[in-house]
Structure formats: structure tokens, C-alpha cells
Amino acid sequence: MPTYRVYYKGYYHEHSESNHTDVEARNELSALRKFFKQRRSELREAELLDGAQLPGLASLDINSEYRWWEGEWLHVYRGIERIDVARCPMCGGSGEITGATAQKDARRVVIG
């Protein structure tokens, strides 16, 4: 199944940081739905402020802007893209490499 990277930015007073979450899904829209479903399940309703709630899953559009609060952090959805990554076979999966590189390296690994 393809992997999609969902980009969002968090703001806390004067501080901001860019974030991303990788999601495996059939297509971009399914990945965005999984991303927001995960966010929704992680947050209690009390943590979502009026006017900045998570969007409804049925009405999502990958080209729209979405804003939501997580505690005192305001998050803004920035976009989504399909990525080609695999867990690194050399380091036991603690890193990421491109899928093409993983296929080449997998041939070099000798299981002994």
C-alpha cells in the first residue's frame, strides 16, 4: 500500500514548528481521512476549541485548509504527498530510506 506524508504546522504564541505524519492508504483522500481520524481519536472534545475543530471526515478535500487545536497549539494542515520510503534494513528499521534504495540494499544483505 502506498505511503503518504501529511504536512501540518503547529503554532504556540511566537513559536512554530513544521510537522508531518506518514500514513499508509490507497490514495491521498483516504490518507487524509486516516490522519484526521487518528487526530480525532487522540484528542478529547474538551481540547478542541470553538471555531477550530477538526473537519468532518466525509467532507475532506486535500486542497482545503484545515485548522485545529491540540491543547494550546494551533495546527494548520499544509498539504499531502505520496512518498516512496521503506524501513532501513541495515539499521533494523530505525531509519528511513527510499523504496528503490531498500530494494538494492536488500540484495546486499546476507542472511546467515
Per DSSP, helices labelled H in 13-95 are 28-42
Contact 5, 80 (CB under 8 A): yes
0.75 exceeded by pTM:
no
Per-residue pLDDT, 10: 95
Per-residue pLDDT, 94: 57
> Worst-scoring range by mean pLDDT, 4-8, 55-59, 78-82?
55-59
Query: Which pLDDT tens digit goes with each residue over 19-74?
Result: 999 999 999 999 999 999 888 777 765 455 444 567 777 788 899 999 888 878 89
CA angle 36, 8, 25 (to 5 degrees): 45
Give the pairing of strands 96-98 and 85-87.
Answer: antiparallel
